[in-house]
């Protein structure tokens, strides 16, 4: 059971690095939190107050300021006790109250939820970060302590917390520069999510140590000897990698533990940056360097302020050894990350030249997310940008561009400027022409080739990696798609209006838009008409409702079928779309009424053994109204004006186009499904004959999804290409 850290011990820790700490305020926060949490217990049985004190102690190890430590002591008071924001403000000031309020709101966010709210909550997380990064620091150390004591929770809650830690908090800690915390959080989560794998790795690691002896000690001694020969004073720290880090490498490289070589890492802490490069030279002269493993984060620091030289060499017995070389100040930033901004030393805010300004860091982190159109797009950008290692590439002028690992020339182009990315037609890497999907590597020089008139293509979404590139591509595609829908909608409206001997005017469109709840936005009306969200008949009926009664002598749609009981309702089968002139039969279905099928519809096979459901039906004799939609599968040449002529042909046959979706787009041909409202089979024959006679129509057939299984498969196919099913 965890012991409560006394206030004198906590104060002693704080005063060891900040003798000017406000001890009175720390004691007041300690006593207040202890009082309001009195009687509360953790799952493990110890007093609940042990938790906030432990979190404050962890933050004190990072030498953080009084405000952060007091927030840690109070971080669960508003959430779990009768304490209020007003009470915290009165006792400890507005700064503390706002920090506590920020942590409370983060606690209530369900970041691991699979619901759509996850994206919305992630946006709130970043809003909290942008206000004061210390809120996230307290939450991270809160999670660290909870993961260290997670065994007392029920198994299902352990799984949820561990998955949330692995997916969100561990990568967030790494992105903030606290790699040690990321490693520990991942390993603690790994212990819950896959205990068998972790135990297996630990056993094999212990066995390896037994066979090879003290490898870390021997390599450490070797490095110290080589540095001593050159007169370089430095501290050498060796360590074995965490089990999860080993497991991840085994999974990524698809190799067994016995073949895994780089399981040891060393840090060399020097007096100054010049010595860092001297140490690098010593190590590379003594041991063979592993190709493509050198990274210079001193000359090209990470966004969170991280600076270090990274290399890998073949040490004793051919074992691969990773080495990080940095100064003491760089090491402090590497350990504390962005939190180094608030670190104290000897009672003063530490003046570490490498500590990054949190405001600048969060601004740089979120600048790519601001263009996200919605929460889901923002969430995708966060995942892409937040949890990726970086690569550094150069423009032809030598400027550095930072991108996530796996980024492509397209990402590079959009990182320079949206205009460059949109006009990209090719790229050169180190002077050689490469495909746009090529993954960039550190140190490469990238030249973007542009062309006037080029615009983003739909396939680019799968090539781009960064949120900025994907957002820009989506915006362009949406604008292009809307323009296409507006053009198609205008043509559909023209044909529909000519069908009733009217002209489609801007005033008529604005009036229809207003009556349909779209303000007077005629462009929005046309876009929805072109995308199939509304039909041309709906637009016409909105403006000229009286025309629905002018068709004297025509049989109304509701009275078109004979053979039904007085109380029976009917509906056409979507599988065969029967129209007057075809032999039909009805199938009685509970809750739906009678479904009318063509006599040759494959769906009828399902009801062969249910003869009591069959109803003998026939169409009413006489002229029918052209309101029975059928679907045509049409292949047309991809030439200017062809689609307009097709619409005109159908309009000339007194038929109305109620929906249109594209199935396939090729450079020379388009294949589309067009829903047309007809009177009967004779009307259908006239329309198809007119289309077949058109030179630019390669094929036209009546489209019928068929039986239920075929209709379901058709629905899946349409969903895959992003089209609507015909009604």
H-assigned helices in 83-178 = 85-92, 94-107, 117-131, 134-148, 155-164, 170-175
Between CA 446 and CA 456 the distance in angstroms is 19
Between CA 631 and CA 575 the distance in angstroms is 11
Spatial contact of 96 and 88, defined as CB atoms under 8 Å apart: yes
Radius of gyration of the chain (CA): 35
The DSSP secondary structure of 223-277, one letter per residue, reads HHHHHHHTT---EEEEEEPPHHHHHHHHHHHT--GGG----EEEEEEESSHHHHH
Spatial contact of 643 and 697, defined as CB atoms under 8 Å apart: no
Between CA 565 and CA 547 the distance in angstroms is 30
Between CA 27 and CA 33 the distance in angstroms is 10
- Give 628's contacts (C-beta < 8 A, 6+ positions apart): 557, 560, 572, 577, 579, 580, 677, 678, 679, 680
Burial tier of 281 (Cβ tally within 10 Å: 0-12, 13-18, 19+):
exposed
The residue from 2, 80, 87, 95 that is catalytic is 80
Q: What is the DSSP letter of 346?
A: T
Between CA 358 and CA 375 the distance in angstroms is 24
Measure CA 646 to chain center.
Answer: 41
The DSSP secondary structure of 39-61, one letter per residue, reads T-B-TTSSBTTHHHHHHHHHHHH
- Give 378's contacts (C-beta < 8 A, 6+ positions apart): 119, 122, 123, 369, 372
C-alpha count within 13 angstroms, C-beta hemisphere, residue 191? 14
* 616 catalytic residue (yes or no): no
Between CA 290 and CA 310 the distance in angstroms is 11
Strand partners, 702: 632
Between CA 242 and CA 2 the distance in angstroms is 24
SS (H, E, C) 632-698: EEEEEECCCCHHHHHHHHHHHCCCEEEEEEEEEECCCEEEEEEEEEECCHHHHHHHHHHHHCCCCEE
Strands, E, within 405-529: which ranges?
Answer: 424-429, 432-434, 446-450
The residue from 31, 79, 251, 664 that is catalytic is 79
Q: Is the dihedral of CA 67, 69, 73, 79 positive or negative?
A: positive
Block residue for tokens 């939450």: 139
Strands, E, within 478-523: which ranges?
Answer: none
C-alpha count within 13 angstroms, C-beta hemisphere, residue 194? 13
Tokens representing 53?
A: 């004190």
**3-class SS shares of the chain: helix, strand, coil, % to 5:** 50, 15, 30
Between CA 279 and CA 268 the distance in angstroms is 8
Q: What is the DSSP letter of 657?
A: E
- Give 206's contacts (C-beta < 8 A, 6+ positions apart): none
Tokens representing 420?
A: 């460059």
Helix (H) or strand (E) holding 391: strand 390-394
Q: Considering only CA atoms, which of 551, 373, 375 is closest in space to residue 476?
A: 373
SS (H, E, C) 574-594: CCCCCCCCCCEEEEEECCCEE
* 712 catalytic residue (yes or no): no
Tokens representing 647?
A: 């619409």
State the catalytic residues. Answer: 79-80
């Amino acid at each position: 059971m965890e012991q409560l850290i006394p206030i004198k011990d906590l104060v002693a820790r704080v005063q060891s690095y900040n003798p000017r700490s406000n001890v009175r305020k720390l004691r007041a926060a300690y006593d207040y939190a202890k009082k309001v949490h009195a009687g509360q217990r953790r799952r493990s049985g110890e007093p609940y107050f042990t938790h906030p004190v432990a979190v404050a102690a962890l933050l004190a190890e990072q030498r953080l300021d009084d405000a952060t430590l007091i927030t840690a002591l109070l971080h669960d008071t508003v959430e779990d006790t009768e304490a209020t924001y007003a009470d915290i403000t009165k006792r400890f000031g507005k700064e503390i109250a706002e920090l506590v309020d920020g942590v409370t709101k983060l606690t209530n966010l369900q970041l691991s939820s699979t619901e759509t709210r996850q994206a919305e909550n992630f946006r709130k997380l970043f809003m909290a970060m942008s206000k004061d990064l210390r809120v996230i620091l307290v939450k991270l150390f809160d999670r660290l302590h909870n993961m260290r004591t997670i065994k007392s929770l029920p198994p299902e809650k352990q799984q949820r917390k561990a998955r949330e830690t692995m997916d969100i908090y561990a990568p967030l800690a790494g992105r903030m520069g606290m790699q040690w915390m990321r490693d520990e959080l991942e390993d603690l989560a790994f212990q819950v999510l896959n205990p068998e794998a972790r135990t297996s790795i630990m056993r094999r690691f212990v066995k390896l140590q037994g066979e090879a002896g003290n490898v870390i000690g021997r390599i450490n001694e070797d490095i110290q000897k080589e540095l001593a020969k050159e007169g370089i004073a430095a501290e050498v720290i060796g360590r074995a990698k965490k089990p999860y880090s080993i497991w991840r490498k085994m999974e990524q490289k698809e190799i067994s533990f016995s073949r895994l070589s780089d399981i040891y890492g060393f840090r060399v802490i020097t007096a100054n940056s010049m010595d860092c490069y001297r140490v690098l030279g010593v190590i590379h002269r003594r041991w063979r360097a592993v190709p493509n493993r050198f990274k210079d984060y001193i000359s090209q620091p990470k966004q969170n302020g991280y600076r270090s030289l990274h290399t890998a060499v073949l040490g004793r017995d051919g074992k691969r050894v990773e080495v990080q070389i940095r100064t003491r100040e760089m090491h402090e930033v590497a350990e504390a990350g962005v939190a180094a901004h608030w670190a104290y030393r000897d009672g003063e805010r530490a003046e570490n030249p490498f500590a990054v300004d949190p405001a600048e860091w969060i601004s740089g982190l979120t600048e790519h997310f601001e263009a996200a159109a919605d929460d889901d797009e923002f969430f995708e950008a966060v995942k892409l940008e937040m949890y990726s290692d970086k690569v550094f590439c150069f423009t032809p002028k030598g400027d550095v561009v930072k991108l996530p690992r796996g980024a492509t020339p397209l990402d590079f182009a959009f990182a320079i400027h949206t205009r460059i990315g949109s006009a990209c037609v090719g790229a050169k890497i180190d002077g050689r022409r490469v495909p746009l999907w090529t993954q960039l590597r550190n140190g490469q020089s990238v030249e973007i080739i542009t062309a006037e008139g080029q615009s983003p293509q739909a396939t680019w979404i799968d090539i781009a990696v960064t949120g900025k590139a994907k957002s820009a591509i989506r915006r362009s595609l949406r604008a292009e798609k809307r323009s296409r829908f507006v053009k198609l909608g205008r043509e559909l409206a023209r044909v529909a209006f000519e069908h009733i001997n009217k002209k489609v005017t801007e005033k008529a469109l604005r009036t229809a838009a207003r009556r349909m709840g779209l303000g007077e936005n005629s462009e929005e009306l046309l876009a929805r008409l072109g995308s199939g969200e509304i039909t041309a008949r709906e637009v016409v009926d909105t403006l000229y409702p009286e025309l629905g009664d002018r068709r004297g002598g025509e049989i109304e749609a509701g009275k078109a079928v004979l053979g039904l009981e007085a109380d029976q309702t009917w509906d056409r089968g979507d599988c065969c779309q029967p129209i007057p002139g075809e032999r039909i039969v009805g199938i009685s279905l509970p809750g739906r009424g009678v479904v009318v099928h063509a006599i040759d519809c494959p769906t009828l096979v399902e009801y062969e053994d249910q003869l009591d459901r069959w109803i003998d039906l026939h169409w009413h004799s006489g002229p029918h109204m052209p309101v029975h939609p059928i679907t045509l599968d049409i292949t047309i040449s991809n030439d200017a004006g062809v689609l307009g002529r097709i619409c005109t042909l159908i309009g000339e046959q007194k038929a109305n186009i109620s929906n249109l979706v594209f199935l396939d787009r090729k450079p020379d041909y388009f294949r589309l499904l067009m829903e047309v409202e007809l009177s009967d089979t004779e009307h259908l024959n006239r329309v198809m004959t007119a289309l077949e006679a058109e030179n630019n129509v390669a094929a036209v057939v009546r489209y019928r999804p068929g039986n239920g299984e075929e209709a379901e498969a058709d629905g899946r196919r349409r969903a895959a290409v992003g089209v609507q099913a015909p009604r």
